[in-house]
Structure 1
Amino acid sequence: MTIRVVLTDDQPLVRAALQMVITDTADIEVVGEAEDGAEAVRLTAELAPDVVVMDLRMPGMDGIEATGLITAGTGATRVVVLTTFDDDDHVYGALHAGASGFLVKDMALDDILAAIRIVAAGDALIAPAVTRRLIKEFTRPAVSPPRRSELDGITAREREVLTLVGRGLSNTEIAGELSISIATAKTYLTRLLAKLNARDRVQLVILAYESGLVATSQ
């Protein structure tokens, strides 16, 4: 099954580079290109792509507003943010807007393609460089009180798994850390998504930090 993608970036060269490498892949196709957020929202409604690759800083409607409008819709389109190192505040905003992936523009194109596939399959992905910046932001002195009440319905083991998800560990790494099978780690992740009403792994990371769970465990 081919993954249908809309590319959104106000820089034609960025869109052209992505278009060029996607043209050579059998399982991904570009069905539309947008140079601002408003156009991305319109194309999403018109074309119903599987994934929108979204720049954050654009004239007019920026990537955060566009991401929020796209993920709030009734469709299944998911958003992958393509960011730069100086976009920390924007990345945090896009997390809350519903983006499922965060990549940096200096990543290898093959890695960007792999991320598109991961997000299209229903998972989430944050580039390690972005994760480090987010962790630094999240672990500053608390901006708001910890929201532990959201975690009252989970078990002690699920809390351990959520902590490790918040630290950026993969399912394989979580399994090794807790001496459980990968299948069991996936089961705990599925339960957390359901109990916490989280759309994907990215939202679990947000909950882990905003509840104070990760900060207090390090």
Structure 2
Amino acid sequence: MRIVIADDQPLYRRGLEIAIGLEADLELAGEASTVSDLLRSAFDHRPHVLLTEVTLSGESTVKACAAAVEASPGTKLVRLTDSEDPEDLFEALRSGATGYLLKSMHIAEIIDAIRQVAGGAVVVPPPMSTWLVAEISRLGTSPEADLSAPWGLSRREMEVLRKVARGSSNAVIAAEMFLSVNTVKNHVRSAAHKLGTTSRTEAALKAVKEGLIDLHDVDL
């Protein structure tokens, strides 16, 4: 899997380079520290995942990323940022990103997220998923949606999904429901499978879009 990293912090790029080099299924195909370098590297290597900061040397990367993805439709765009502002998240998704990763995340989480995005998943940090779910609801989730839709979700799976939509981690959900973390993970995994999604965030998003979760009942 070919990866291109665009970031104007050499030490951070070096850390990602080392981490990617340790993974047998990942290849660092190119690096960039400027917008022009990003375009050149993306066009030359046609990466599976383009991991890039929102700005490089003070210049926005939005147009460059759009051009790169247009030239290579198979490329997945992942935004790498320090910003936890929901508006920045929404803007990244509107611009075609399917991943939004915080630089404060552990390197192992970033590597895992790269694989998930390459596999077709949408990856957003758990604390920000609540904002994303709320935005989707604001944009038109129907409150009259049929709650008996044939997804086959159990009562417990629905309860867990509501807490995921609230932005709770598996550990917090486990404590609130007096369950083990592994049991919560199993409920999340089962709900995601039934909904045809590949992550906890996508499962919560789909539950909201299908009207299975009413955000008025979620303590945001």
1-side partners of 2:147 and 2:95: how far apart?
A: 25
Residue of structure 1 equivalent to 2:196 = 189
2-side partners of 1:207 and 1:67: how far apart?
A: 27
2-side partners of 1:39 and 1:205: how far apart?
A: 37
Q: 1:123 is paired with a residue of what secondary structure? A: coil
Partners of 1:38 and 1:61 within 8 A in 2 = no
Residue of structure 2 equivalent to 1:148 = 141
Q: 2:111 is paired with a residue of what secondary structure? A: helix
Equivalent pairs counted in the alignment come to 197
Quote how far apart the aligned CAs of 1:146 are: 4.1
Residue of structure 2 equivalent to 1:135 = 130
Partners of 2:46 and 2:75 within 8 A in 1 = yes
The reply on whether 1:60 has 2:59 as its aligned counterpart is: yes
The reply on whether 1:8 has 2:6 as its aligned counterpart is: yes
Residue of structure 2 equivalent to 1:49 = 47
Question: Which moves more between the two structures, 29-38 or 69-78?
Answer: 69-78
Report sequence identity in percent. 28
For structure 2, list consecutive stretches of 5 or more residues without a partner in the other structure.
171-182
Residue of structure 1 equivalent to 2:178 = none
Matched to 2:140, the amino acid is R
2-side partners of 1:124 and 1:144: how far apart?
A: 17
Matched to 2:187, the amino acid is G
Residue of structure 1 equivalent to 2:122 = 124
The structure whose Rg is larger is 2
2-side partners of 1:166 and 1:71: how far apart?
A: 30
Quote how far apart the aligned CAs of 1:124 are: 2.7
Matching of residues 1-218 of structure 1 within 5 Å: 3-58=1-56, 59-62=58-61, 64-128=62-126, 132-133=127-128, 135-136=130-131, 139=134, 146-148=139-141, 156-158=149-151, 164=161, 166=165, 176=187, 182=190, 185-189=192-196, 215-218=215-218
2-side partners of 1:52 and 1:12: how far apart?
A: 17
Normalised TM-score (structure 1)? 0.66
2-side partners of 1:78 and 1:154: how far apart?
A: 33
Deviations 1:15-62 (A, max 9, x none): 111112222322211111112345324422221111111112332233
Partners of 1:22 and 1:29 within 8 A in 2 = yes
Normalised TM-score (structure 2)? 0.65
Q: Measured at CA, do residues 12 and 153 of structure 1 come closer, stay the same or move farther in structure 2, by a change above 3 Å? A: farther
Q: 1:79 is paired with a residue of what secondary structure? A: strand
Partners of 1:166 and 1:214 within 8 A in 2 = no
Deviations 1:157-184 (A, max 9, x none): 45979993755699x959737xxx83x7
